[in-house]
Amino acid sequence: MADFTYTPDRVVEEEVMFNTLVSRFENGVEQRRAKWANPLRRWRLYFKIRTQTEMEAVRDFYIAKKGSYESFTWDNPNDGQTYTVRFVEDSFRIKRVHYQIYDFEFAFVEVK
């Protein structure tokens, strides 16, 4: 079972990234080399109209992981796979939209 078990409200946005080194020579020729054998994934999760209790639970999880410092496991609802991830940002922004109702979002990046 994954460490992060909170379900986002909206569809999870997913990004697949590669790291390619491009060397350009004086004669216009390019040489390309893949720096990673496998792609790296990034996700953005949205939590809208959440209670104060729900917000505090997710915020406490974020604090326990020290922001982007510590990795954890998460089940991706897009493909059903479990990934080892960490938070991308070292800040957790919360928006109060009504009395004890909150919106927040954050991103995960895959850890290899």
Examine residue 5 and state whether it is found in any structural domain, yes or no: no
Residue type, 77: P
Beta bridge partners of 107: 44
Examine residue 32 and state whether it is found in any structural domain, yes or no: yes
**What mean pLDDT comes out for the span 14-33?**
91
Handedness of CA 50, 51, 52, 54 (dihedral sign): negative
Domains in the chain, number:
1
pLDDT digits (tens, 9 = 90+) for 15-24: 999 988 999 9
Residue type, 43: W
pLDDT digits (tens, 9 = 90+) for 35-58: 888 899 999 999 999 999 999 999
pLDDT digits (tens, 9 = 90+) for 54-108: 999 999 999 999 999 999 999 998 888 999 999 999 999 999 999 999 999 999 9
Examine residue 1 and state whether it is found in any structural domain, yes or no: no
Examine residue 82 and state whether it is found in any structural domain, yes or no: yes
- In terms of residue numbers, what domain contains 61? 13-110
pLDDT of residue 11: 67
pLDDT of residue 65: 97
Q: Are the CB atoms for 110 and 85 separated by under 8 Å?
A: yes
